[in-house]
Amino acid sequence: MLGQLQRIGKALMLPIAVMPVAGLLLRLGQPDTLNIPFMAAAGNAVFNFLPLLFAIGIAVGFARNNHGLAGLAGFISYQILSWGAVAINKDNNLSYLGAIICGLLTGWLFNKFSEMKSRSRMLEYIGGGRGLAVILISILSIVLAIVAGLIWPYVQDLFNALGKWLGETGAIGAGFYGLFNRLLIPLGLHHVINTYIWFVYGTYHGPHGVVTGDLSRFFAGDPHAGGYMAGMFPIMMFGLPGAALAMILVAKPERRSVVAGVLGSAAFTAFLTGITEPIEFAFMFLAPVLFVFHAVLTGVSMFVCYALGIRDGFTFSAGVIDYVLNRNYATHGWWIIPIGLVFGVIYFVVFYFSIKAFDIKTPGREDEDASGPVGGGFILDEYQVAGDPEQRTDSATSAKANPMSVQAKGYVEALGGADNIVEVEACTTRLRLNLKDVSKLNEAQLKALGASGVIKLNQHNAQVVVGTIADTLVDEMKQHM
């Protein structure tokens, strides 16, 4: 089940990846920024068709090798499902939930039948296994449309009731969301609950129609939206950078400059963009108590911001870029700065004294015999091919021209070799892996290559946190394999 949830989490990130571009276009086109109406219209166009992008993106993300035909089949499936359900009951609005169902169903059927070999002339006529998959998806979508047309009003009522309950819990609900959002980070399943909160929770009847989800409603102008996002800004812009500063200062003096280079850039990335995993994985498994403390403080931040009536949002993550761009959409947004500074001090003090008191082996504090490159960097010569000196020189020259290809080779070897890798995909900052045998994974070598953390879900599924190079690294790994 964890393996399938891992695939779902990765698939959900593909349509969400278009959000930063849409958000930039929408905000830069507004009168309070560049005042270019067609840019705002272009951003709105993406937001208006997000359910469709979810159906396409999830289908592609769930299908093996991100096959483009799965995206087309996902589009067809969602169109059949949504239009068919509305024809039966005009009040049906499948929106993101219908899109997610279509995307996952399409990806699963595509993986099941697309690689089927043509054993008959009929199968050849319809385009082999892939053609059969598209036909089956279309037929099944018709059946789903009939079922959804009859039962979807009850499903809508259920989710409306859940949204109403969350609204009634107010700050407490926001606090629990923040807590579980961080606790699910190690498994990469936080995207699953994020999808409901950002795109399904709550309803707003705006100028462009009905909009659902805390994120979508915020950018549609709903003054009550943003309560489930605002509390992330103090943690990502100030809290975790404070923890990174503490880890830098407690590192051994001879290794502090190296640690500062790695964690300093990670702290700046968190502040600027809201990408926090490189910092979180620096202490997540070394000090689980500190990670639980981090999750609790995230919940506290969400509670405090919601209770104070702060409403703010983001299209990518809670970094300063989104904070500045969306400042005029926010309610009491300036309060985030002093609140964030308080959280930054709390994180620094707790991390600094906890690491010192309990001798936690955060980066730069490892024992000498266990220490290697800290959080990044690798020795190029380790991955030069054997053979005559001339061949090694040519390999070194090629490696220096494209160091990512050399790093990719190192990652393949550290994962047990190409024969051990069934599937490898990138998900923002992670490699999501399906391996023949996870025990062949060399964790020390992966960390020497620059991985921030390794999660072994079971004997076949694992994740490796590598930072924002994930997509490029996977492309190079596949070329090497």
Predicted TM-score of the model (pTM)? 0.75
Yes or no: say if 137 and 76 are a contact pair by the CB < 8 Å rule.
yes
* Range scoring the smallest mean pLDDT among 157-161, 359-363, 389-393, 406-410: 389-393
The model's pLDDT over 123-168, given as tens digits with 9 standing for 90+, comes to 666 666 778 888 899 999 999 999 999 998 888 888 888 878 888 8
Average pLDDT over residues 445-461: 85
Q: Is 460 exposed, middle or buried (0-12, 13-18, 19+ CB in 10 A)?
A: middle
- Position of tokens 């939930």? 97
**Starting at the edge strand that comes first in sequence, how are the strands of the sheet with 461-465 ordered?**
421-427, 430-435, 461-465, 453-456
How many other CB atoms are there within 10 angstroms of residue 32's CB atom? 9
The model's pLDDT over 202-234, given as tens digits with 9 standing for 90+, comes to 889 887 778 889 998 998 889 999 999 999 999
More confident call, 419 vs 427: 419
Residues 6+ apart with CB under 8 A from 368: none
How many other CB atoms are there within 10 angstroms of residue 400's CB atom? 10
How many other CB atoms are there within 10 angstroms of residue 289's CB atom? 11
User: CA 59 to CA 45: how far, in whole Å?
Assistant: 21
Give just the sign of the alpha carbon dihedral 46, 49, 54, 57: negative
User: CA 356 to CA 353: how far, in whole Å?
Assistant: 5
> Options 3.90.25.10, 3.40.50.300, 3.30.1360.60, 3.20.20.370; which CATH number does 380-480 get?
3.30.1360.60
Here the tokens at position 222 are: 């709903």
Yes or no: say if 217 and 204 are a contact pair by the CB < 8 Å rule.
yes
Here the tokens at position 185 are: 């980070």
User: CA 261 to CA 113: how far, in whole Å?
Assistant: 48
Rounded (5°) CA angle 416-417-423: 90
Is a pLDDT exceeding 70 seen at residue 373? no
Yes or no: say if 20 and 319 are a contact pair by the CB < 8 Å rule.
no
Secondary structure tally for the chain: helices H, strands E? 22, 6
User: Residue 120 in 3-state DSSP?
Assistant: coil
Yes or no: say if 430 and 275 are a contact pair by the CB < 8 Å rule.
no
Yes or no: say if 476 and 462 are a contact pair by the CB < 8 Å rule.
no
Q: Which residues are catalytic?
A: 427
Here the tokens at position 425 are: 């995909």
Which residue ranges does the chain devote to CATH 3.30.1360.60? 380-480
User: CA 481 to CA 319: how far, in whole Å?
Assistant: 36
At 375, the pLDDT band (50, 70, 90 cuts) reads: very low
State residue 430 phi and psi, 5-degree precision: -125, 155
Element of type H or E holding 179: helix 171-183
